[in-house]
């Protein structure tokens, strides 16, 4: 078991908390504050326990001086302060006298946020390459390091792995929740475990499929990725999305796991990526040359439903159709509904599946929605995430 923030005596200590405050912004305005809200529990706990808190986070990518203007954490510090109802002192730099003086002036319970860790990427990608000098410098600013940034836990950066390799360390409540839900569903699930995989690009998920067939009792495949399987199995897929480089993989994995992998039996096709296109339900053996498969059909939904009704654990990553278009959203919406109605531990992977459940009003209906798209995918690949691996065991 990993050490957590509750295992430390925080009173009067300078505690660096690595949060994932990488929120989407448009013209300096935060468009989705979920990641700030998800970070509150750990920050509040540390503040109540008397820690002198130094918050670090990245925001977007910083490749040019121009990027600095649009990727400052200042609006995030302001919003965090409002949500906490407490001052969050923002320091517009990632190193130097102003930062050091402000940290030393922190009193128990006070909170400071420094500027975007990726500002250090302008000079030799120091943050993203886990530069040793930068890691040592940042570690010298604190006494305890808490990693609560699940969204970047799959990266080996100075602000997570670098500092953790120097200071006494633990995880915060958000990473703990990810490990207790997604982590235990992958490593120690109540069975049957059903994994639903969708989305467009099969190439991005080869390692996930490979691991899914090892750990799950059933793997339900929908969305754009199913057409590469169909082509590999000799079906006409018309104008549906396909990844020719993954044909051999799909053929092999399907043949080795026919009993586990469930592919659609029928689909809804259109002839363009629009709501105006004429749509038809077709059997997968009858896809026309100009047809694009854009959703799963009713027969497939019923097969998925039957399997899901028996499931005790479900992990879902990737929409089963083009859910952004109303006309092709039924399959994804039905999966949301079924998952909300079953008596199972249901975990939604980050990224597009999280966007779909939010869009269709199912956000609070499941055991857990992961906060990290890339990080949750790498966990599903069976990899240990460097940002978590470096944290001490109890």
Select the span of 71-79, 121-129, 195-203, 230-238 touching ligand AMP (CB under 6 A).
195-203
> 56 vs 322, which CB is nearer to ligand AMP?
322
Binding residue (CB under 6 A) for ligand AMP from 151, 162, 172, 199? 199
Count, residues near ligand AMP per rule CB under 6 A: 17
> 96 vs 288, which CB is nearer to ligand AMP?
288
207: how many CB neighbours lie within 10 A of its CB? 14
Q: Measured between alpha carbons, how far is 383 from 117 in angstroms, rounded to an integer?
A: 25
> 12 vs 299, which CB is nearer to ligand AMP?
299
Exposure string (b/e) for 84-100, b if CB count within 10 Å is 16 or more?
Answer: eeeebbbbeebbeeebe
Rounded to a whole number of angstroms, the minimum distance from the CB of residue 111 to ligand AMP is 35
Q: For every residue of 76-136, which 3-state class applies, written as one string?
A: HHHHHHHHHCCCEEEECCCCCHHHHHHHHCCCCCCEEEECCHHHHHHCCCCCCCCCHHHHH
> 187 vs 273, which CB is nearer to ligand AMP?
273
Between 274 and 293, how does the x/- string for binding to ligand AMP read (CB under 6 A)?
-------------------x
The answer to the question of residue 270 lying near ligand AMP (CB under 6 A) is no
State how far the alpha carbon of 53 is from the alpha carbons of 18, 113, 114, 161, in Å: 10, 8, 11, 19
- Return left, alpha or beta for 259; rule: phi > 0 is left, psi -120 to 50 is alpha, else beta: alpha
Binding residue (CB under 6 A) for ligand AMP from 201, 251, 327, 383? 201
Q: Which residues within the stretch 206-265 sit at the binding site for ligand AMP (CB under 6 A)?
A: 223-224, 241
Q: Bridge partners of 134?
A: none
> 272 vs 341, which CB is nearer to ligand AMP?
272
Select the span of 97-105, 120-128, 198-206, 299-307 touching ligand AMP (CB under 6 A).
198-206
The answer to the question of residue 86 lying near ligand AMP (CB under 6 A) is no
Residues belonging to the chain = 394
Rounded to a whole number of angstroms, the minimum distance from the CB of residue 203 to ligand AMP is 9
Residue nearest to ligand AMP (CB): 199
> 183 vs 223, which CB is nearer to ligand AMP?
223
> 189 vs 223, which CB is nearer to ligand AMP?
223
Rounded to a whole number of angstroms, the minimum distance from the CB of residue 205 to ligand AMP is 7
The answer to the question of residue 352 lying near ligand AMP (CB under 6 A) is yes
Residue with tokens 């209906």: 365
Q: For every residue of 224-289, which 3-state class applies, written as one string?
A: CHHHHHHHHCCCCCCCCCCCHHHHHHHHHHHHHCCCCEECCCEEEEECCCCCCCCCEEEEHHHCCC
State both tokens at 53. 């808190």
Rounded to a whole number of angstroms, the minimum distance from the CB of residue 137 to ligand AMP is 37
Select the span of 16-24, 47-55, 70-78, 194-202 touching ligand AMP (CB under 6 A).
194-202
The answer to the question of residue 200 lying near ligand AMP (CB under 6 A) is yes
State how far the alpha carbon of 84 is from the alpha carbons of 16, 32, 38, 52, 77, in Å: 18, 17, 12, 15, 10
Binding residue (CB under 6 A) for ligand AMP from 196, 220, 294, 357? 294
Exposure string (b/e) for 41-52, b if CB count within 10 Å is 16 or more?
Answer: bbbebbbebbbb
Rounded to a whole number of angstroms, the minimum distance from the CB of residue 293 to ligand AMP is 5
What positions carry a catalytic annotation? Answer: 35, 201, 351, 374
Which residues, 6+ apart, have CB-to-CB distance to 299 below 8 Å?
A: 265, 266
Q: Which residues within the stretch 305-344 sit at the binding site for ligand AMP (CB under 6 A)?
A: 318-319, 321-324
Select the span of 23-31, 122-130, 151-159, 193-201 touching ligand AMP (CB under 6 A).
193-201
Q: Is 207 helix (H, G, I), strand (E, B) or coil?
A: helix
> 116 vs 376, which CB is nearer to ligand AMP?
376
298-310 and 330-341 helices, crossing angle to 10°: 20
Binding stretches for ligand AMP (CB under 6 A) = 198-201, 204, 223-224, 241, 293-294, 318-319, 321-324, 352
């Amino acid at each position: 078991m990993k050490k957590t923030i509750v295992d430390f005596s925080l009173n009067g200590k300078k505690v660096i908390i690595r949060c994932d405050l990488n929120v989407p912004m448009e013209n300096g305005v935060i468009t989705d504050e979920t990641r700030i809200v998800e970070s509150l529990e750990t920050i509040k706990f540390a503040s109540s326990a008397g820690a002198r808190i130094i918050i670090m986070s990245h925001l977007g990518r910083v490749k040019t001086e121009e990027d600095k203007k649009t990727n400052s954490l200042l609006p995030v510090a302001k919003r965090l302060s409002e949500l906490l109802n407490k001052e969050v002192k923002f320091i517009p730099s990632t190193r130097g006298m102003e930062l050091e003086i402000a940290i030393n002036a922190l009193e128990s319970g006070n909170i400071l946020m420094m500027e975007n860790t990726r500002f250090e990427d302008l000079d030799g990608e120091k943050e993203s390459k886990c530069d040793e000098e930068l890691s040592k410098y940042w570690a010298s600013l604190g006494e305890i390091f808490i990693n609560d940034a699940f969204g970047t836990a799959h990266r080996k950066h100075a602000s997570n792995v670098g500092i953790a390799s120097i200071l006494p360390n633990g995880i915060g409540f958000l990473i703990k929740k990810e490990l207790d839900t997604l982590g235990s569903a992958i490593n120690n699930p109540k069975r049957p475990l059903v994994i639903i995989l969708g989305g467009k690009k099969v190439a991005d998920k080869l390692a996930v499929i490979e691991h899914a067939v090892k750990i799950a009792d059933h793997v339900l495949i929908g969305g754009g990725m199913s057409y590469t399987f169909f082509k590999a199995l000799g079906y006409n897929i018309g104008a549906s999305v396909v990844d020719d480089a993954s044909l051999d993989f799909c053929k092999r994995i399907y043949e080795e796991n026919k009993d586990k992998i469930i592919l659609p039996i029928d689909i809804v096709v259109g002839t363009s990526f629009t709501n105006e296109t004429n749509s038809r339900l077709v059997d997968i053996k009858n896809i026309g040359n100009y047809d694009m498969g854009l959703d799963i059909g009713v027969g497939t939904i019923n097969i998925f439903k039957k399997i899901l009704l028996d499931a005790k654990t479900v992990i879902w990553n990737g929409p089963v159709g083009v859910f952004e278009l109303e006309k092709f959203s039924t399959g994804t919406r039905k999966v949301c509904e079924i998952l909300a109605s079953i008596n199972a531990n249901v975990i939604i992977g980050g990224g597009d599946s999280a966007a779909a459940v939010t869009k269709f009003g199912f956000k609070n209906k499941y055991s857990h929605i992961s906060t990290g798209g890339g990080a949750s995918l790498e966990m599903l690949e069976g990899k240990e995430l460097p940002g978590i691996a470096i944290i001490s065991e109890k």
